[in-house]
Amino acid sequence: WGPQSYNWGAGMSRLDLAAGFIKANMPLGNGNNLSDQQAWDVAYYIDSHERPQDPRYQGSIEATRVAFHDGPYETYGRTVQGHRLGAGVGVTGGSTVGHMMQARGAAAAPLRD
């Protein structure tokens, strides 16, 4: 996360894609050792931090969310601990951490609080 991270338009900002990558590649050099739940937990943690704005930004977070991020595995435009993700690094400092998505039934792996 932070200004040198992938932006909100990148595939890794989708939780399902991030969890799949994390499961296959972490820990570094010793992939496929995390459980599905651990991979999803890491993906949720990473994608709960602010990152550079989506280059397809439509003038508002809501318009951009509807146009490009309206899926069950997207965190863009969701509110986490009182902060709406998607403002971009520099506006918030990139420090949002916490519980993600209310739509627990959408996740491929069970989520824990």
Query: pLDDT tens digits for 8-33?
Result: 999 999 999 999 999 999 999 999 99
Q: What structural domains does the chain harbor?
A: 11-101 (1.10.760)
Contact 13, 72 (CB under 8 A): no
Q: E strands of the chain, at which residues?
A: 79-80, 83-84
**CA–CA gap between residue 32 and residue 38 (Å, rounded):** 11
Residues 6+ apart with CB under 8 A from 6: 12, 13, 51, 52
Contact 49, 94 (CB under 8 A): yes
- Claim: this prediction has a pTM higher than 0.75: no
Query: pLDDT tens digits for 61-96?
Result: 999 999 999 999 999 999 888 888 998 874 333 333
Beta-carbon neighbour count of residue 13 at 10 Å? 24
